[in-house]
């Protein structure tokens, strides 16, 4: 996989610059409004690139812009378990792959671009099924809080249990604010369990506090 600095200038500009040509980074390009539609054909063609990281970045941008090809591509990455094939988003501290967290964020932005939320929720449900085995930082949580994800409540509850089973105690606690938003009684019923886990990871305290803000 080529490093971004090695990309041809036109590809680098399409992924990392605003309409004035200023480098703003991939995350900010996903938020460009209005969407620079002239970039869509080239980015779409790059979804078929042999460079998986390049194709992945194009998928993030296109999905965030509400382009169907980008959303479908990210869904395929989830379904094929891309994390088992290549590492795309190694965390700066732990080194664990945060790829599905980043994908979830791009899909959430797609809804802001008026993409069919039902289709987005279907993919987010499949991502939640990986919540125990795979690493997530906080982008999935933020996405579920921003959207109306009440239809995913059973999957969210299951994701918490999966994370606990995999001893990802802090990660499990990250979904407490989401539970509070959609099922207050259930969220409150989890408090004692997570308070008992503070000895395993003190950071759980922050998610308990955030949970109470959503009650």
Residue-wise pLDDT for 77-86, tens only, equals: 999 999 999 9
Co-location of 101 and 122 in the same domain: yes
Average pLDDT over residues 192-209: 98
CA distances from residue 201 to 87, 128, 134, 164, 206 in whole angstroms, order as listed? 26, 22, 18, 12, 11
The predicted structure's pLDDT at residue 40 = 98
Q: Is residue 149 over pLDDT 90? A: yes
Co-location of 76 and 137 in the same domain: yes
Domain boundary among 148, 173, 206: 148
Mean pLDDT, the chain, integer: 97
The predicted structure's pLDDT at residue 113 = 87
Co-location of 190 and 99 in the same domain: no
Co-location of 130 and 181 in the same domain: no
Co-location of 12 and 98 in the same domain: yes
Co-location of 21 and 117 in the same domain: yes
Co-location of 154 and 143 in the same domain: no
Domain boundary among 148, 169, 193: 148
Domain that holds residue 134: 1-148
Average pLDDT over residues 97-122: 96
Query: By the 8 A CB rule, do 141 and 178 touch?
Result: yes
Co-location of 34 and 104 in the same domain: yes
Q: Is residue 177 over pLDDT 90? A: yes
Co-location of 192 and 210 in the same domain: yes
Co-location of 30 and 136 in the same domain: yes
Banded model confidence at residue 93, pLDDT cuts 50, 70, 90: confident
Name residues whose C-beta falls within 8 Å of residue 126's C-beta, 6 or more positions apart in sequence.
Answer: 75, 78, 79
Domain boundary among 148, 170, 186: 148
Q: Is residue 126 over pLDDT 90? A: yes
Domains in the chain, number: 2
Banded model confidence at residue 214, pLDDT cuts 50, 70, 90: very high
Q: Of 30, 45, 184, which Cα lies nearest the Cα of 107? A: 30
Banded model confidence at residue 131, pLDDT cuts 50, 70, 90: very high
Co-location of 41 and 120 in the same domain: yes
The share of the chain scoring above pLDDT 90, in percent, equals 95
């Amino acid at each position: 996989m080529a490093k971004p600095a090695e990309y041809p200038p036109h590809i680098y500009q399409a992924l990392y610059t605003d309409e004035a040509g200023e480098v703003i980074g991939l995350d900010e390009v996903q938020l460009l409004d209005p969407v620079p539609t002239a970039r869509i054909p080239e980015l779409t063609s790059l979804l078929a690139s042999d460079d998986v990281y390049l194709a992945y970045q194009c998928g993030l941008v296109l999905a965030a812009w509400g382009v169907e090809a980008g959303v479908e591509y990210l869904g395929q990455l989830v379904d094929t378990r891309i994390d088992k094939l290549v590492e795309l988003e190694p965390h700066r501290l732990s080194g664990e792959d945060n790829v599905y967290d980043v994908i979830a964020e791009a899909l959430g932005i797609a809804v802001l671009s008026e993409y069919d939320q039902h289709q987005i929720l279907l993919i987010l449900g499949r991502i939640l099924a990986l919540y125990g085995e795979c690493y997530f930082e906080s982008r999935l949580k933020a996405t579920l809080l921003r959207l109306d994800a009440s239809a995913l409540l059973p999957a969210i509850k299951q994701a918490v249990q999966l994370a606990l089973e995999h001893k990802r105690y802090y990660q499990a606690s990250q979904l407490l604010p989401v539970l509070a938003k959609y099922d207050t009684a259930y969220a409150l019923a989890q408090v004692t369990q997570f308070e008992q886990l503070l000895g395993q990871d003190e950071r759980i305290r922050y998610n308990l506090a955030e949970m109470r803000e959503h009650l």
